[in-house]
């Protein structure tokens, strides 16, 4: 893609200035007021080297820069040189590149040759896959897609919560109250019922807690009966989870959860001991982190069973030794900030300097519109909102809206899935990830606001315009010389500028682990396209004008589809 800052820096460069082209480029600004140009160069730093007033230097530069097709006008205002892009030239450059790259537009090879791991979703087996899990799942999936788009070799890991004392509780509950028949009918809801009952009964009989701890110790020791039950719970849970992942269009390269590292932990417990980092505290083994302003990191409980920190140490070292990652990204709620600080500090004390490349990407909480905070939901009490139910409801509500609008010639079942599920994903990714937000059906399924359905409808609108063009005209878009002077209007120029920025936006979103940067830019593109659509008559009689405008419509459609794809959302041709 043409780089206007690069062009400007090379045009301005003069050896007498004492600045390199890179230094000049860094000084180039984008004016807040478009009337002052698309780019501006301040001349203050040149005054000493050139022994002239900045205003005179600006006048000299503006005077000698002429005849470059990239700029319509170059003028000086006081100590600034202002550059106005040639709109027709710009439109042609951008649209040609979108047409040439197609579905690859926006992608780059910045990360070529480097591996990145993204750990996300990571629900607990034998527990509901509830609405609270959606944030890690879709934010993580978008971060994976962003890093893939900028050229990294990305490994997607679903670090299942498939170990810990909770499974001792589940084993005890199933033995006391379980039914194979009930389990086969509805595994997760049945297991949730057992888990809830365990906690209800444990309030009356605290000895059940001891029984559960003993069951987990036997599981860690590989006892056949406990292991067989645990495997059954894991397999049934994965089948349930995969149904939801299929709805979301999400896949993983690895489902290696906490249990995968159970036989790897003794190595690190020994290492911590050998390095003098372990301290006994009331029978438990801890690493004292008081000097780092944190509570102790517990490595093993008094009964010898492992904890999250121990398993995460084993997982991190295994991943480094297996993949030699450039970054290992953990998409986990902000509630776990302390855990990640403790864990990284322990890794550093152990001498693993690459711990700095382990990045915790936190996110805020989601609550329901009726005020029921998701974090207050409890699998112990059985009060959860299943994610699958939310997605199915979104599809049903979308189908109802489409039927009310008398959608003709549309596969309502298929499109309602794409739009309904896309709406839920878009809502999740439209907020800055660190902020808490409230889930609202009215906002999620709004076809007019800054929502997924609005962007998808814009894509469908562009598709409709192109369907109304003739085959000859569509063929000509790829073969004819287009007269880009028909795209000099403000609405066309605004749209072209937004399409131009997409590669930069994708890279910024990846570097900041922030999919909402893409989402917000996508809304801007959709709004700009709809303004262009309303301001300009596209299918005009003048063939040259029509071809130029159709080319911009096609480029917009391509870019919207590409950006939706980065968010894990489909782009319907009809709505």
SS (H, E, C) 196-209: HHHHHHHHHCCHHH
CA triplet 403, 409, 410: central angle to 5 degrees? 60
- Going along 196-255, which residue ranges are E strands? none
Q: Within 13 Å and on the Cβ side, how many CA atoms surround 451? A: 20
Q: How far is CA 166 from CA 61, 89, 379, in A?
A: 72, 64, 11
Could you confirm whether 339 is annotated as catalytic? no
Does residue 368 contact residue 439 with C-beta atoms inside 8 Å? yes
3-state secondary structure of 286: strand
Cα–Cα distance between 441 and 390 in angstroms, integer?
Answer: 10
- Going along 48-171, which residue ranges are E strands? 71-77, 80-85, 115-119, 153-157
Q: How far is CA 161 from CA 178, 312, 314, 445, 464, in A?
A: 22, 11, 15, 32, 46
Could you confirm whether 130 is annotated as catalytic? yes
Q: Within 13 Å and on the Cβ side, how many CA atoms surround 126? A: 25
Task: Exactly one of 115, 127, 169, 557 is catalytic; name it.
Answer: 127
Helices 134-149 & 224-248, crossing angle to 10 degrees?
70
CA-based nearest residue to 562, from 277, 253, 145, 184: 145
Task: Exactly one of 115, 133, 344, 549 is catalytic; name it.
Answer: 133
Cα–Cα distance between 421 and 424 in angstroms, integer?
Answer: 5
Cα–Cα distance between 190 and 184 in angstroms, integer?
Answer: 9
Does residue 127 contact residue 196 with C-beta atoms inside 8 Å? no
3-state secondary structure of 1: coil
What is the 8-class DSSP label of residue 574? -
3-state secondary structure of 328: strand
Does residue 143 contact residue 361 with C-beta atoms inside 8 Å? yes
Does residue 143 contact residue 513 with C-beta atoms inside 8 Å? yes
Token code pair at residue 67: 């005849």
CA-based nearest residue to 346, from 273, 262, 277, 264: 277
Nearest-10 Cα torsion for 142, 148, 154, 160: 10
Could you confirm whether 459 is annotated as catalytic? no
Bridge partners, 49 (sequence order)? none
Task: Exactly one of 10, 35, 52, 130 is catalytic; name it.
Answer: 130
Token code pair at residue 363: 């996110």
Cα–Cα distance between 262 and 314 in angstroms, integer?
Answer: 9
Cα–Cα distance between 25 and 5 in angstroms, integer?
Answer: 6
Positions marked active-site: 127, 130, 133
């Amino acid at each position: 893609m043409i780089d206007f800052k690069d062009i400007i820096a090379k045009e301005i460069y003069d050896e007498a200035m004492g600045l390199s082209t890179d230094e000049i480029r860094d000084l180039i600004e984008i004016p807040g007021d478009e009337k002052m140009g698309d780019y501006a160069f301040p001349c203050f730093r040149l005054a000493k080297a050139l022994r002239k007033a900045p205003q005179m230097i600006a006048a000299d530069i503006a005077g000698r820069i002429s005849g470059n097709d990239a700029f319509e006008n170059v003028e000086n205002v006081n100590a600034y040189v202002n550059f106005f892009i040639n709109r027709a030239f710009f439109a042609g450059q951008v649209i040609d590149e979108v047409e040439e790259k197609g579905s690859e537009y926006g992608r780059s090879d910045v990360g070529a040759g480097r591996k990145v791991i993204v750990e996300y979703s990571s629900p607990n087996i034998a527990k509901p896959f509830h609405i609270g899990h959606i944030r890690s799942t879709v934010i993580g999936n978008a971060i994976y897609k962003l890093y893939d788009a900028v050229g990294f070799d990305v490994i997607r890991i679903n670090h299942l919560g498939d170990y810990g004392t909770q499974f001792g509780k589940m084993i005890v509950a199933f033995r006391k109250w379980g039914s194979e028949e009930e389990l086969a009918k509805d595994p997760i809801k049945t297991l949730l019922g057992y888990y809830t009952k365990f906690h209800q009964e444990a309030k009356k009989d605290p000895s059940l807690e001891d029984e559960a701890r003993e069951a987990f110790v036997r599981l860690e020791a590989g006892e056949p009966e406990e292991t067989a039950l645990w495997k059954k719970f894991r397999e049934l849970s994965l089948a349930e989870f995969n149904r939801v992942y299929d709805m979301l269009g999400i896949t993983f390269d690895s489902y290696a959860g906490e249990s995968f590292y159970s036989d790897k932990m003794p190595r690190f417990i020994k290492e911590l001991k050998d390095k003098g980092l372990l301290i006994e505290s009331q029978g438990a083994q801890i690493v004292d982190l008081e000097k780092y302003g944190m509570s102790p990191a517990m490595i093993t409980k008094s009964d010898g069973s492992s904890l999250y920190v121990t398993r995460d140490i084993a997982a991190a070292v295994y991943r480094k030794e297996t993949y030699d990652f450039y970054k290992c990204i953990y998409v986990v709620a902000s509630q776990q900030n302390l855990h990640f600080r403790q864990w990284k500090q322990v890794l550093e004390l152990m001498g693993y300097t690459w711990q700095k490349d382990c990045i915790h990407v936190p996110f805020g909480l989601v609550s329901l519109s009726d005020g029921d905070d998701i974090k207050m939901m409890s699998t112990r009490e059985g009060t959860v909102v299943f994610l699958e139910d939310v997605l199915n409801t979104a599809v049903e509500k979308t189908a109802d809206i489409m039927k009310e609008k008398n959608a003709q010639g549309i596969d309502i079942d298929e499109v309602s899935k794409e739009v309904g599920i896309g709406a839920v994903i878009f809502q999740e990714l439209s907020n800055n990830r660190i902020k808490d937000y409230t889930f609202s059906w009215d906002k999620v399924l709004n076809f007019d606001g800054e929502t997924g359905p609005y962007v998808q409808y814009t894509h469908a609108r562009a598709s409709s315009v192109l369907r109304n063009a003739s085959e000859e005209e569509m063929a000509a878009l790829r073969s004819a010389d287009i007269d880009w002077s028909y795209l000099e209007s403000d609405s066309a120029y605004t749209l072209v500028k937004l399409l131009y920025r997409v590669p930069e936006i994708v890279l910024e979103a990846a570097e900041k682990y922030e999919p909402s940067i893409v989402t917000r830019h996508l809304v801007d593109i959709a709004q700009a396209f709809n303004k262009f659509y309303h301001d300009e008559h596209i299918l005009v009689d003048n063939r040259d004008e029509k071809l130029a405008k159709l080319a911009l419509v096609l480029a917009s459609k391509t870019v919207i589809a590409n950006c939706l794809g980065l968010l894990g959302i489909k782009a319907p041709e009809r709505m």
